[in-house]
Amino acid sequence: MPPSDDPAVEIVSGDPVAFVRDLKQRSGGDIWLCGGGQLAGQLLPEVDELVVKVNPIVVGSGIPLADRSFDLQHFSLVDATPIGAGVIMLHYTR
């Protein structure tokens, strides 16, 4: 993957779990994961919050939220916000 022109974006070519664990030890802001189910599945044990947008559209098969086996993960719903056109933003934390 080519480097990003955005200085706030870092492309990680190594172990994503080790990278995120290192980031979580540093002071600073939030870590946002935007990617597919394969990456999310690897990082799910490191995730503290989930923000899920639910759209009222059925599209058939798609990309799973977490594309791999993992231990049961418990999150609690802290907010559900309608954002228009039947779309709801759900916010969960551990």
- 26 burial (CB, 10 Å; 0-12 / 13-18 / 19+) is exposed
* Banded pLDDT at 79 (limits 50, 70, 90): very high
Mean pLDDT across the chain, nearest whole number?
A: 87
Cβ-based neighbour number of residue 40 at 10 Å: 19
Q: Which of 27, 21, 77, 25 is nearest to 49 (CA)?
A: 77
- The 10s digit of each residue's pLDDT in 30-73 is 888 877 788 888 888 888 999 999 999 888 887 777 777 777 78
Alpha-helical segments (H) within 1-94? 16-25, 37-43
Domains by residue range for the chain, with CATH: 16-93 (3.40.430.10)
3-state secondary structure of 63: coil
* Contacts of residue 63, Cβ cutoff 8 Å, sequence gap at least 6: 36, 37
Residue predicted with more confidence, 58 or 77: 77
